[in-house]
Amino acid sequence: MDRRKFLQSTAALASVSMAGSTIAANAQAMMDKDSDEYWKTIMAQYKVTDEFINLNAGHWGIMSEPVLEAFVKHTRFINAYSSYFVGHGRAAIPTARNYGLERAEVISMLADKLGVGADELVLTRGATESLQLLISGYNNIEPGDTVLFGDAAYFSMEAEMRHLKVHRGANVVELKVPDPASHDNIIALFEQGIKDHPKTKLILLTHMANRTGVIIPLKEITAMARSHGVDVIVDMAHSWGQADFDFADQGVDFVGFNLHKWIGAPLGVGLMYIKKERMLDIDTKSSKGPPGNDDINNRAQTGTMNLAAVMAVKDALIFLDKIGIEHIDRRFKALRNQWTKEFLDDDRVDILNPEDERMHAGLTSFRINAHKDPRELGKTLLRDYGINTAPIPALNGIRVAPGLYSSKADMDALAVAIKDIVNKM
Ligand SMILES: Cc1ncc(COP(=O)(O)O)c(C=O)c1O
């Protein structure tokens, strides 16, 4: 085939497939977004290995194909233009893309989604970085003041809280989260903690616990803490993007997120939020000049970031917005209930978060009471049943975290595997 004919035929093919995808997009738009039929169209936009069923979306997320393609495109662009893209020379070629503008657009989209100001957000490389900046930078602690956290905190944030003893002379207190947790007993836990330690200044709250998936009543605890003059720093590594809640309504001042778990952006992007009026309560970084200014950008010093990953946040937000967080939340709950319902009346297996709909989304752990080696159990699930999960030795449990690419059949396979293991014991 000569080149002209080839071009004509590929153009014809392209128009057929574009027409096909327009029809598919229209059909998708007509569907009930809570139906399995609709979710098949979402699952089809993920390419995941069929070597095993991946129920460990809690570690980090998988990008959908549109996001991955955009990320590759951005990577190619940056690889071609290199630092010209961020440097002073770009004005000379007006058609070249401008990283500063693209990053500002990403921040503005994130601000719109959260219902906050763009000047209250700064990008980081993950939730750990954001939260370590917030905890170590919080400067309202006098020697002898108390700081509290629950034992559901993520290990590196717990370490940062403990370090406040050395760094600020704080009395560091860990509270034991009740098991089973309930809406009321978690509020009571922190309220009692403040009463027992009247010099409490700061609480670290993990909105959704990474080991159990328990979602705490954030708004209520924050309001209670505020009524005692206590600040909270919130870890939203797992909640934002997985559960449907109104961020602006939570009344929180200091929050760390990542965008590579449940927002579906490439690895290596996080976000830090500081309420504008509270900016001076977090120290500036030494490399960013003296304290006293209220620019959030002076409170993070990430060095060179993965620019393509930052740019792809826009694509990830567009992808999620087409579905809608209310449908994502319902989908995750449906995937969770698909397998947990099999064990509600089975006292050989414990489900480690409450049935209360306010207190879970998709990520949920279980324990086989007679099985004392969760690492071995995780290996058995992978080796004998082809299911990848996350063992949680501290709870003698296994964490199950479906993604938007997971099917109800995946969850059924898990339930069958657990039953089989239990029956053989
Ligand atoms: C509750 C919680 N906070 C923070 C993090 C750390 O997130 P990142 O990997 O973005 O630093 C994790 C990671 O699993 C987590 O589960």
Least Cα distance to 251 among 231, 236, 270 occurs for 231
In the CATH scheme, what is the homologous superfamily, with its name and number, of domain 325-424?
A: Aspartate Aminotransferase, domain 1 (3.90.1150.10)
Residue 93: pLDDT band with limits 50, 70, 90: low
Residue among 289, 347, 160 nearest 235 (CA): 160
Q: Of the candidates 328, 312, 319, which has an alpha carbon nearest to the alpha carbon of residue 268?
A: 312
| Residue 150: band (very low, low, confident or very high) from pLDDT cuts 50, 70, 90 | very high
Q: Where are the domains of the chain?
A: 99-318, 325-424
Q: How far is CA 80 from CA 76, 77, 97, in A?
A: 6, 5, 12
- Residues paired with residue 234 on neighbouring β-strands, in sequence order: 205, 255
Pick the atom of ligand 1 nearest to 153's CA.
Answer: 1
Pocket test for ligand 1, best of 233, 235, 305 (most atoms within 8 A of CB): 235
- Whose Cα sits closest to atom 7 in ligand 1? 127
CATH assignment of 99-318?
A: 3.40.640.10
Q: Bridge partners of 391? A: 398
Average pLDDT of the residues of the chain: 92
Q: Label residue 377 by pLDDT band (50, 70, 90).
A: very high
- The stretch 144-152 carries a mean pLDDT of 95
Closest atom of ligand 1 to CA, residue 128: 11
**Does ligand 1 have an atom closer than 6 angstroms to the CB of 206?**
yes
Q: Is the CB of 235 under 6 A from ligand 1?
A: yes
Quote the tokens at residue 119.
């000047």
User: What CA–CA distance (Å, rounded) separates 270 from 253?
Assistant: 17
Does residue 237's CB lie within 6 angstroms of at least one atom of ligand 1?
yes
- Tens digits of residue pLDDT in 345-372: 999 999 999 999 999 999 999 999 999 9
pLDDT score at 13: 38
Determine if ligand 1 sits within 6 Å of the CB of residue 239: no
Helix (H, G, I), strand (E, B) or coil at 377: helix
Protein residue with its CA nearest to atom 12 in ligand 1: 237
- Which atom in ligand 1 lies closest to the alpha carbon of residue 260? 10
H helical segments located in 63-151: 65-81, 99-114, 127-137
Cβ within 8 Å of residue 306, ≥6 positions away: 125, 266, 267, 268, 269
For the ranges 92-101, 167-176, 340-349, the lowest mean pLDDT is seen at: 92-101
Distance 297 CA to ligand 1 centre (A): 22
Q: Atom 16 in ligand 1: which residue has the minimum CA distance?
A: 210
- Burial of residue 119 (CB within 10 Å: 0-12, 13-18, 19+) is middle
Burial of 336 (C-beta count, 10 Å sphere; 0-12/13-18/19+): buried
This prediction's pTM: 0.93
Note whether 271 and 263 are within 8 A (CB): no
99-318 and 325-424: identical CATH topology? no
> What is the distance between the alpha carbons of residues 42 and 19, in angstroms, rounded to a whole number?
19
